[in-house]
Amino acid sequence: MGTLKKQFGKRMKTLRTSAKMTQEQLANDVGVTIESISNIERGIHGPSFDTLEKIAEVLKIPVQDLFVFE
């Protein structure tokens, strides 16, 4: 079922806080609104492929790492 969005959101939040960034900083750097980041972290929706690429860039990690769960 649709658990991927929630797992991804949780993982992204972990990585963002580890990087000591606020949702607002991440939103600005990625180029989306803070609400969008909030929605992604809460599993409301996932990022587009372009946004996914930018998130990894801003967090300075391989995209792969965003899909490492547990």
Partner DNA sequence: AGGCAACACGAAGTTTAACTTCGTTACGAC
Partner DNA sequence: GTCGTAACGAAGTTAAACTTCGTGTTGCCT
Residues that bind DNA (CB under 7 A): 5, 13, 17, 22-24, 31-33, 35-36, 38-42, 45-51
Is 21 a binder of a copy of itself (CB under 8 A)?
no
42 binds a copy of itself (CB under 8 A): no
DSSP-H helix ranges across 1-70 = 4-18, 23-30, 34-41, 49-59
Q: Which is nearer to a copy of itself, 24 or 35 (CB)?
A: 35
How many whole angstroms separate alpha carbon 30 and alpha carbon 34?
10
Identify whether the C-beta of residue 15 lies closer than 8 Å to the C-beta of residue 59. yes
Instruction: Indicate the residue among 20 and 60 with the shorter CB distance to DNA.
Output: 20
